[in-house]
Chains A and B, each alone.
Chain A
Amino acid sequence: MAKLNINGRVRVVQVEPDTPLLWVIREHVGLTGTKYGCGIAQCGACSVHINGEVARSCSIQVGDVKARDKIVTIEGLSATSSHPVQKAWAAIDVPQCGYCQSGQIMAAAALLKKTPKPTDKDIDEAMTNICRCGTYQRIRTAVHMAAGMGNVGKSADHATTKSKV
C-alpha cells in the first residue's frame, strides 16, 4: 500500500512497493498523460514534478515516495492548459505526434520555475528529453516565449488547487 499526494489529492493505492511511480500513476491512479518511453530514465517521457523538481518517474520506486511528497503530473500543471509553457507550446504549434510532449512540458515548466529567463545554454542543459519527431527547434523557441510571458515562477503545485483530478 502507498499513500501519494498527486496533483493536490491524496491517493491510497494497493501496490507492490517496488512498482515504478510511473506505472502507479498510469495504472493505479489512472492518469495516463505521463508516458512510458524507456523505463530507464533516458527519454524523459515520464517526467513529473516531485516537490517542484522534475523527476523521471519510471525509475523511482513507489516505496521510496513519501506521503508528504507533492507529485504533480501533466494533468495537474494547470487546470485549463493555462501554464505559460502550455500557452507557448500552443502558440508555436510545438507537438507533432505529441507522445513525448507531456514530459517536455514538465521539464520546461521545472526549468522556468528555477530559471525564469533561461539562456540557450540553460535550455540545452535542462531539456534532455527525447523527441523522435524532432520538435527541438520549436521547443527552444517556445521555452523562450513562455519565459517572456512572465508568471513562469508560479508553482505548479499551487495550480493544482483548481484541478479537478
Chain B
Amino acid sequence: MTKKNSSAKVSSLGATEVSRRSFVVGSAAAGGGLALGFHLPLGGSAQAQSAAAGVEVNAWVVIKPDDTCVIRIARTEMGQGTRTGLAQLVAEELQCDWKKVSTDSITPGQNLARKRVWGEMGTGGSRGIRTSQDYVRRGGAAARMMLLQAAADQWKVPVEELTVADGVITHAASKHSTSYGKVAAAAAKLTPPDPKSIKLRDPKDWNIAGKPMKRLDTADKLNGSKIYAIDLKLPGMLCAAIKDCPVFGGKVKSYDEAKIAGRPGVRGVVRVKDSAVAVVADTWWRAKSALEAMPIEWDEGPNAIQSNTTIAEHLRDGFAAAANNGSRANGDAVKAIAEAAKKVEAVYTTPFLAHATMEPMNCTAKISADRAEAWVPSQNAEASLAALSEASGLPLAKCEVYRTDPGGGFGRRGGTQDYVHQAAAIAKNFPDVPVKLIWSREEDMTHDFYRPISQCELSAGLDESGNLVGLHARISGQSINAFLNPALISGGTDMRQLQGYDVKPGEAQLGYGAPNMLIEYVMRNTHVPVGPWRGVNTNQNAVYMECFMDEVAHAAGKDPVEFRHSLMGNYPGHRACLDAVAEKADWGKPLPAGVHRGIAQFHGYATYSAAVAEVSVSDDGKVKVHRMVLGVNCGHAVNPDQIAAQIEGSVAFGLTAALYGEMTVKNGRMAETNFDTYHIMRLAEMPKVETLIMQTHDFWGGIGEPTICVVAPAVLNAIYAATGKPVRSLPLKNVKLV
C-alpha cells in the first residue's frame, strides 16, 4: 500500500508537470492574456491531453465530464482552512454542486508562465482569503456566465431565461436541462466576460460561502496517507542532515570527515555556505547520526558573548534614546502626564519566541544541468522558486517548486526560504539526484527567525475625576524589517513594530483616543534573526496596551470595560466587538469563588477581536484558565466552523506563549533546543473556548492571526484581578504570582 501510495503521489506531482507544459503552450497561444478568467484556447494535442483532467473554463475552474468542479487554489493551506474557504467563494459564484468540488494547488512555475494569472501565492498576514476574495469570486462568476452562455447557445434561447442550481442549468420554458460537465467544452471556447461587468452575489444570498462546510482536506489526515514534504520519496533520493553554527553569525572552522568514513549509508559531507555542514546519506537517520558523530569546530565570532542580560540592557537603553524610529502623536503627552493629578507608570517585557511548527523545516531539491526542482512545504511558493533559482544559478523558467501543505507555518515558511537555499546548495553536489534535507528539531528550534524581543515603557496621566489626559508608550526592541526587509525602513522610520497602534482605520488601528498621546518605537537590534511569528507584533503590542489599560483603569477606580468605553468614542467598531464579547462572557456578573475575569480587545489584519478570560490563581501561584470567550468581527465570515477552529487554536497558541514561551540567549545561542525546554501547552491545560463571530459585511478581515493577541492580555488582566498585582513580563512561568 505504501509503495503504491507514494508512487501515486509522486506521479500526481509529476502530472502537474505535464499540465504545466500544456499551460505554457496554451498561455503562449492565448497571447497577452486577461487579468481574470484567463481564457485558454487549447490546441488539439493539449486538448486531448487534458480531456481526462477536465476542461479549463478559466484559470480558477476546471470541469470534468462527470460534473466534478476542480477549483484551483493559489494560496497555501497549512491548517488555517484557506483551501476550503477559497473553494467556497469560487463555488458560491459558480453555483456548482458543493459535493462535487475538489481542489488543485497551482505551482509557482505555472503562475509565472501564465503571467501570474492566479495572483499572489504568498500566504501570510492573514491575507489568504481577504486579499484574494474579489478576484477568485470574479473567476467563479465568469465561469458560471460562460457555462450558462454555452447552454443558451446550444438551446438558442436568451441566457437571461436560464437558471442554475448545483451545477444544473435549466430553461423552464423549453424544459431543457443540462449540467456543467456537458457544456464545459463549449463554454471554454467563449470569450470571457469583462471582470468589471460582473455583479457578485450578495452575501445575504450565499448558500455555499458563509456556511460551516466541512473541510475538503480532512480524509487523508486521518489515516497517514497525506504526504507532507518530509514524507516525500523519489527514485534514487538521498537524505541530508545539517548543522549550522549554534551562535548566530558564527562560522564553520573545521570538521573531521574521516571520523565518519565508512559509516553505513553515508555518501558525503557538504559545507553549506560559511556557517553550516551537512551529511548526506541513504536515509535521514544515518545522515543525522553521522553528523552527530562528526567533530565540528566552530568559529563562534563576536556574538558568543551575547546573552539575555546583555540584550535586556541594550533594550532598556532605548528608553533613554533621544530620537525614535517611528511614532504617532497628538497633543503633548509628556507634558500632560507630568502635570496630571495622578500618574501610572510601568515597564513591560516580552521575549524571543520560536515558531516550532510540528513539521520541522525541510526541502527536497533536485538539480540538473538545466533544470532545478524543489518540493517545499512553503507559505510562499514564489519565494521558494526565487530561492531555488538563486541557489541553483538557473533562471526562474528552468526551475519549478512543488508545494506540499506545510505541517504548520505560523510565519516561519514565508519569505525566508533558508532551507531551500540549503537544500539546493547540497543537491548541487549530487547532480540529477533528489536530496531531501530535514532539520532535526534541535536545528529547527535554534535556527529560527524568532518573534522579536521588546520592552515597553508606559505612562499615563489621570485628572482628578479619573479621566485619561495623557498616554505615552515607548517600545524599545528589535525590528523585523531591519533584519528581513531593510528597504521597507525609510529615513530610519519603521512603523511595522507599532502594529495595532495605527491612527488610520482599516488594518490595525488603535481603538482608543486621548487628548494627549505619544506612541513611539525605538529600534534596538540584536544578533538574533527575527521574523514574522503568527500575529507578528500585535501579540506584544496588545499585551503592552491592554494590560496597561487595566492598570490605568484600576488607578482611575473604574471597571476595565467602563474605562475603555471612555476612550472609544471614535472607535465604534472596536467597541462593538468588545461589548459583544463582554456580554457573551457575562462581564460584571458573579463568578464562582476564586475565579476572576480579564478582558482585552485589539484590531489587526483588518479584524476586530476581543477576549474575556476566566482564571483562578492557586495559593501556590499556579494559574488555571477555565473558560475563554473570544469574538471577532471579520467583516465576512466565509466558513464559521473554520473560523471557530482558528479561534480555538489561537487560544492554544496565545496561551502557550503566555504561560511558557521563551527563547533564551546564552553565550550567543539559543538555550532551548527542543520541546523539553520549550514547553508547549497540552490538552489538559486547554480552557473551554466559546466563540462569537460577527460580520458587518462592510470589509474583509483576516482570521488566521488576529485573535492570538487578545489571549495573553485577557489572561494577564484576569490574574491582575485575582492577585491585585499586574503581570508585566512574560512568560508566566518566570513570574512569582503570589
Contacts and interface: CB of A to CB of B under 8 A. Distances in A.
A86 B684 contact: no
The number of chain A residues touching the other chain, given as a range, is: 35 or more
B53 to A, nearest CB: 26
A49 interface: no
Interface in A92-107: 93-102, 105
A31 B283 contact: no
Interface stretch (B218-226, B328-336, B525-533, B613-621): B218-226
A52 interface: no
Nearest to A102: B224
B649 A134 contact: yes
Contacts, number: 191
Contacts of B405: 97-98
A137 B649 CA distance: 8
Interface in B636-654: 641-642, 645, 648-653
A100 B358 CA distance: 7
B228 A99 contact: yes
A138 B645 contact: yes
Contacts of A135: 645, 648-649, 652
A100 B409 CA distance: 14
B129 to A, nearest CB: 15
Contact of B680 (A28, A36, A130, A163): A130
Nearest to B222: A86
Nearest to B645: A96
A106 B265 CA distance: 31
Most buried by A among B3, B218, B283: B218
B415 to A, nearest CB: 20
A40 B6 CA distance: 27
Nearest to A85: B222
A132 interface: yes
A38 to B, nearest CB: 5
B359 A99 contact: yes
Interface string A115-144: 000000001110111111111111110000
Interface string B243-271: 00000000000000000000010000000
A43 B675 contact: yes
Contacts of B285: 19-20, 23, 27
A123 B683 CA distance: 8
Interface stretch (B74-82, B417-425, B551-559): B74-82
Contacts of A125: 684
B181 interface: no
Nearest to A29: B2
A132 B680 contact: yes
A102 B683 CA distance: 16
B233 interface: yes
A86 B686 contact: no
A12 interface: no
Contacts of B653: 132, 134
A35 B285 CA distance: 13
Interface string B666-707: 000000001110001111101011000000000000000000
A39 interface: yes
B649 A27 contact: no
A57 interface: no
B649 A81 contact: no
Given A96-B645, A132-B408, A140 B686 contact: yes
B79 A136 contact: no
Interface in A55-91: 73-75, 77-78, 81, 86, 89-90
Interface in A1-51: 16, 19-20, 23, 26-40, 42-43, 45
B650 to A, nearest CB: 7
B539 to A, nearest CB: 15
A137 B222 contact: no
A149 interface: no
A117 B475 CA distance: 51
A107 to B, nearest CB: 10
B218 A136 contact: no
B54 interface: no
Contacts of A16: 264, 286
13 contacts: A16-B264, A16-B286, A35-B359, A36-B230, A81-B219, A89-B222, A95-B222, A96-B81, A96-B649, A97-B409, A134-B650, A137-B686, A165-B1
Interface of B: 1-3, 6, 78-81, 214-215, 217-228, 230-231, 233, 239, 264, 283-286, 356-360, 405-410, 438, 440-441, 641-642, 645, 648-653, 674-676, 680-684, 686, 688-689
